[in-house]
Structure 1
Amino acid sequence: MKIKNILSLLLLITNICTFAQDMPAWKKAHMPDSNDWKKVEQHFVFNNSAEPKSLDSGVISGLLEFRLIECMFEGLVSMDPETLVPRPGIANKWNISKDGLTYTFYLRKNAKWSNGRTVTAHDFYKSWIRILDGSIAAPYNYQLFYIVGAEDFSKAKNKSSFDMKKIGVNVIDDFTLEVKLKNPTAYFLDIVAFPTLYAVPLETVKAYGDKWILPENIVTNGPFHLQKWDRRQKIVMVKSKTYWDAKYVKLEKITALAIERVETAYKKFLNKGMHWQPSVPESKIDEVKKLPEYYQTDTLATSFYRFNCKKAPFDKAEVRRAFAMATDRKTLAKHVLHDIPTPANWFCPPAAGYIHVKGLDYNPAKARKILKDAGVITKGLAVEITFNTSETHKLIAEFISKNWENNLGVKVILKNMEWKTYLSNMTSMNYEVMRGGWYGDYNDPNTFFDMWTEGNGNNRTGWVNKKYDTLLFASQKETDKAKRMILFQQMEIILIKEELPILPLFIPANKGLLSEQVNGYYHNIFGFHPLKYIWLEKE
């Protein structure tokens, strides 16, 4: 019996050593230095701020949904949690042709769905076609338009007669997927790592419809699996037994809370009821900054308001310009938001070295003249600002409403909505002015400019400008970096000086609270923190 135990122990040690030896250097760098973490319960709790709209990667568009999807699913490519360099995911390697137009992905043969079925190239092909065929409302379908024929298929009126061979996605065999692009796209691997391009288990989707994402039905292929979903309370995930890289995953359980009130979440964090709170109460920022758990970092993001360009009075560009010039961004950033964000009358942050153009300055007198010249009578005019539940969003809306009331003489009505209702109203364009925010999907200005083209699922302003669209498409074909940047600047002039379908406000900072127990978490400009790499140490 003793000999048997010794042999078992030696076999275990051998397996551990083999696992470590087979691990690439970049991955070893994200491992614990010792085994002390194994003495701590690996149950990570964080606040995800609201009830998610869905767990279907094809229909989501919000950061809080992306956090959950990245736990339960994995794409062909993943991202390094520290450097954001593309890393192997379901594909263990890929080749790129010399002309940058053909990508060949080689899937690992041990990648499994949670029902035991092997993940294949067919899963990705069919999932991508689902994004394009109109069977679901996919706001990010344009992420596939880089592929030959994808946009033509998506916009085809008669899809049943479309020649699918014209789409540049070919299943070579069960474990090889070939993708052909219209133009060389340096950030295409970043696109492939984006949740919209994850595979979903279509047999499960077909069997259960919209209910396929429920705990009793869902099939996943990522490091964690959905165990429980208490609506408006929490989502519980557990380590997946079928994930190809399960040995690397340290956390055994994750609880994502849906606490909308930042003050409530803050108190829970102070009482050690969670490990991560991705926002802080503005009213207590001075107190919060003194905590050792507080962090504040730069982000590749922008905050703005959308105008509904289909509704009066914001169907006129001159009216939108006037309201922009009646907004005091500097005071908002300094006194309401405690001098943390950068006030911005521009839209695009410095993605890949981009230099923004200057927008419209604060000038209430000129704003009033613009409205008068346009024949707009502000007395008795009421406008609505809609925002999702958040102390910070409320403070911003209150400040801007006072700006507009004092500077323009209009009445402003504030409408607060919970997350799912807010998203629904944005999609249906049931608003006049609405809070907006955007995190870059990859480090290139294109991620900030392509969303405003006609028909884009993330536009949601009703604004269309043919000149803008032409410039955007030209930028996607241009290979000279300097010339591309000039095209982006020309787009930004249209966006924030001439037409203003949006009102730029500020470039936010990423701030929150992180327990000192948490390891494997790296601050980066995308706010990307895959929990596969996280573990907990003793306090």
Structure 2
Amino acid sequence: MKRKLSVGLVLLLSIFLALSGCFSGDSSTNEPKEPETPSEEGKDNEEENTEPKILRLNNNEEPGSLHPGIAQGTHDSWILEHAFEGLTKKTQEGEIVAGVAKEWKISDDGLTYTFTLRDDAKWSNGDPVTAHDFEYAWKFALNPETASTYAYQLYYIAGGAEYNGAKEGADLQALQDQVGVKALDDTTLEVKLAQPTAYFLDLTSFYTYYPISKKVQEENPNWYQEAETFVSNGAFKLTEWKHKESLKLEKNENYYDKDNINLDEVHFVIIDDENTAWQMYQSGELDLVYPLPQDVIGQLVSTKDPEFQIGTDLSTYYYNLNNDKKPFNNVKVRKALAMAIDRQTIVEHVAQGGQPPAFSVVPPGIPDVSGDYQENNGKLFEENVEEAKKLLEEGLAEEGLSEFPKVTLTYNTSEGHKRIAEAVQEMWRKNLGIEITLENVEFQVKLDREKAGDYEISRAGWVGDYVDPMTFMDLWVTDGPYNDANWSNTEYDELINTAKTSLDPEVRMKAMHDAEKILMDEMPIIPVYFYTKPFTVKPHVTGIYTPINRYPQFIYADIKN
């Protein structure tokens, strides 16, 4: 979820290369590099060691769905990223490399991508992975009857938005036939985009773009709900799922790169209490823990524990304000709440993981036309208690309110979220003289209530799906599927559309900078800080890496017994 400047330069180069492929003037074939795999050192002794290599981790929530077309959170994606594989995948440095696709061509106008799949790509049941599976999976997610909240990530494909947004009574089959993804044969997938998209190859590594087995989905629509019927195409396969307790992944012997997969099994325990997970790590029951309790992070930072690592993250911690409910329909009230939070105190004394305070929405680590996008933004608002008091008084008066009403701040169960909410609660009490109630619920419950508009203030976080400001900026377009704040601004929508359709990097980046200024001036949501990725891993575990917008990856991890 996080990355440094050197990674930003790598990502900038990746985007430049993608653009050059689109607009170079000739239809060249890209020769994607294979991901680097771990050293062969020590493999001579493998036959002597018959002990299975088992990595033990914690997943802090029960997965909401392990179907790529339906999943919507990190509690799903950490497992999906290892059980499935898309056309492309990411290296440790965030570089896009060949996955199921061994090569691809991009047309001169940047609108048509032709992917050639590996001949040896197979499903965990032994069936071949075909281009038909990709076509079927993407159209499944776009089908309005699927109700996929992430379907909008496929709107880059020609006809995708029209199919997914079909009105009642529309000819769905006709709209589906117009979607620009087609299997030309078993190993050739043709994709036509609505407009050139510099980060499209990055998107193809994201889980909504993973394939699903057409045969399995049609024979058993509920295949993804139990381990016994689960079929995937990644390095690992799901072999056990004790709901709300644990999951087990095993090495997929049908994976094309199986010879470089060292782990035999990966065991997840489902624990929403970070302190319990940390205790299990200390007692040797877990090999890697993420996330960590905030007090523990502070201790590990101060003692420089060699098992402690902090990765950079492409992620923002913020609060949704339900703009449909008084008094959050008033911009002055929203800005008052944002300006009355002491972010430095929160990151230093509560979160304690080296997080930068957030005075904008897009986090560091995304290349701009020159430099880093977030650094070029600077602070888009300031903390000012006196101004906050004035704005709150004016805003409440405009809404005909003599005092701040009773409202609830909802957060998903986590000791860390609780402590941050308590800190914000106290800051608002002290600085603005208002009282709010805190409520904790399970993560999936929180997501469902946000979608239903059944909340007043809610804790939220967003991990970038790809490395471009748009992965954050299009969240708040009018009626966007993740616009849980229910905010709308016509000028903002127009700027986002400009950024999505322009071929000029300077035009699209300026449009997003301008849109972000509007967002922070209207303040429908309150940024708190930019995440980092603090975790601990035992010294006998090697090969863990952390791409900028992913949880710790263990695909090529190893256990040294």
Normalised by the size of structure 2, how large is the TM-score? 0.87
Deviation at 1:167, TM superposition (A): 2.1
Deviation at 1:380, TM superposition (A): 5.9
Of residues 445, 448, 452, the one that matches 2:472 is 448
Deviation at 1:36, TM superposition (A): 6.4
Mean CA deviation greater in 25-34 or 264-273: 25-34
* 1:30 to 1:99, Cα distance in 2 relative to 1, 3 A: farther
Aligned-partner Cα distance in 2 for 1:446–1:228: 37
Aligned-partner Cα distance in 2 for 1:264–1:339: 19
Aligned residues: 513
Q: Output the amino acid matched with 1:77.
A: T
Which residue in 1 is equivalent to 2:180?
Answer: 168
Mean CA deviation greater in 121-130 or 367-376: 367-376
* 1:339 to 1:530, Cα distance in 2 relative to 1, 3 A: closer
Which residue in 1 is equivalent to 2:495?
Answer: 471
Which residue in 2 is equivalent to 1:485?
Answer: 509
Q: Deviations over 1:212-259 (max 9, x none)?
A: 431122222211111111122110111112222222211110111111
Of residues 241, 249, 253, the one that matches 1:229 is 241
Which residue in 1 is equivalent to 2:539?
Answer: 516
Deviation at 1:402, TM superposition (A): 0.9
Which residue in 2 is equivalent to 1:86?
Answer: 96
| 1:378 and 1:408 in contact (8 A); partners too | no
Aligned-partner Cα distance in 2 for 1:95–1:528: 30
| 2:294 and 2:353 in contact (8 A); partners too | no
Q: Output the amino acid matched with 1:275.
A: D
Deviation at 1:397, TM superposition (A): 0.2
Which residue in 1 is equivalent to 2:393?
Answer: 372
Which residue in 2 is equivalent to 1:112?
Answer: 122
Aligned-partner Cα distance in 1 for 2:514–2:547: 29
SS in 2 for 1:209: coil
Of residues 291, 311, 316, the one that matches 1:302 is 316
Which residue in 2 is equivalent to 1:62?
Answer: 73
Mean CA deviation greater in 156-165 or 430-439: 156-165
* 1:144 to 1:26, Cα distance in 2 relative to 1, 3 A: closer
Of residues 549, 555, 560, the one that matches 1:526 is 549
* 1:28 to 1:526, Cα distance in 2 relative to 1, 3 A: closer
Q: Deviations over 1:395-427 (max 9, x none)?
A: 110011111122222221101112222222222
Q: Does 1:390 align with 2:414?
A: yes
Aligned-partner Cα distance in 2 for 1:177–1:72: 22
Q: Does 1:535 align with 2:535?
A: no
Q: Which has the larger radius of gyration?
A: 1
Normalised by the size of structure 1, how large is the TM-score? 0.90
Which residue in 1 is equivalent to 2:4?
Answer: none
Aligned-partner Cα distance in 2 for 1:125–1:402: 51
Deviation at 1:262, TM superposition (A): 0.9
Deviation at 1:137, TM superposition (A): 2.3
Deviation at 1:474, TM superposition (A): 0.4
| 2:90 and 2:547 in contact (8 A); partners too | no
Aligned-partner Cα distance in 2 for 1:326–1:159: 51
Aligned-partner Cα distance in 1 for 2:387–2:307: 45
| 1:357 and 1:489 in contact (8 A); partners too | no
Q: Does 1:31 align with 2:12?
A: no
Q: Output the amino acid matched with 2:228.
A: E
Aligned-partner Cα distance in 2 for 1:166–1:339: 48
Aligned-partner Cα distance in 1 for 2:509–2:33: 35
Q: Output the amino acid matched with 1:519.
A: T
Q: Output the amino acid matched with 1:245.
A: D
| 1:114 and 1:243 in contact (8 A); partners too | yes
Which residue in 1 is equivalent to 2:54?
Answer: 43
Which residue in 2 is equivalent to 1:130?
Answer: 140
Which residue in 1 is equivalent to 2:306?
Answer: 292
Aligned-partner Cα distance in 2 for 1:529–1:396: 24
Equivalent runs, 1:266-277 vs 2, <5 Å: 266-277=278-289
| 1:453 and 1:464 in contact (8 A); partners too | yes
Of residues 84, 97, 101, the one that matches 1:73 is 84
Aligned-partner Cα distance in 1 for 2:248–2:73: 19
Which residue in 1 is equivalent to 2:109?
Answer: 99
Sequence identity (%): 34
RMSD over aligned Cα, in angstroms? Answer: 2.0
Deviation at 1:339, TM superposition (A): 6.8
Which residue in 1 is equivalent to 2:192?
Answer: 180
What stretches of structure 1 of length at least 5 have no aligned partner?
1-23
| 2:298 and 2:353 in contact (8 A); partners too | no
Which residue in 2 is equivalent to 1:217?
Answer: 229
Q: Output the amino acid matched with 1:197.
A: Y
Aligned-partner Cα distance in 1 for 2:115–2:242: 38
Deviation at 1:28, TM superposition (A): 5.0
Which residue in 1 is equivalent to 2:18?
Answer: none
Q: Deviations over 1:84-133 (max 9, x none)?
A: 21222221211112322211011122222222222111111111111111
Aligned-partner Cα distance in 2 for 1:328–1:30: 44
Aligned-partner Cα distance in 1 for 2:296–2:100: 43
Deviation at 1:170, TM superposition (A): 2.0
Which residue in 2 is equivalent to 1:278?
Answer: 290
Deviation at 1:360, TM superposition (A): 2.5
Q: Does 1:414 align with 2:428?
A: no
What stretches of structure 2 of length at least 5 have no aligned partner?
1-31
Which residue in 1 is equivalent to 2:23?
Answer: none
| 2:409 and 2:459 in contact (8 A); partners too | yes
Equivalent runs, 1:400-439 vs 2, <5 Å: 400-439=424-463
Of residues 364, 367, 382, the one that matches 1:361 is 382
* 1:125 to 1:339, Cα distance in 2 relative to 1, 3 A: closer
Deviation at 1:468, TM superposition (A): 1.0
Q: Output the amino acid matched with 2:131.
A: A
Q: Output the amino acid matched with 2:43.
A: N
Of residues 140, 153, 158, the one that matches 2:150 is 140
Q: Does 1:194 align with 2:202?
A: no
Q: Output the amino acid matched with 1:107.
A: L
Aligned-partner Cα distance in 2 for 1:302–1:25: 31
Aligned-partner Cα distance in 2 for 1:28–1:383: 51
Aligned-partner Cα distance in 1 for 2:327–2:243: 38
Aligned-partner Cα distance in 2 for 1:362–1:128: 44
| 1:303 and 1:504 in contact (8 A); partners too | yes
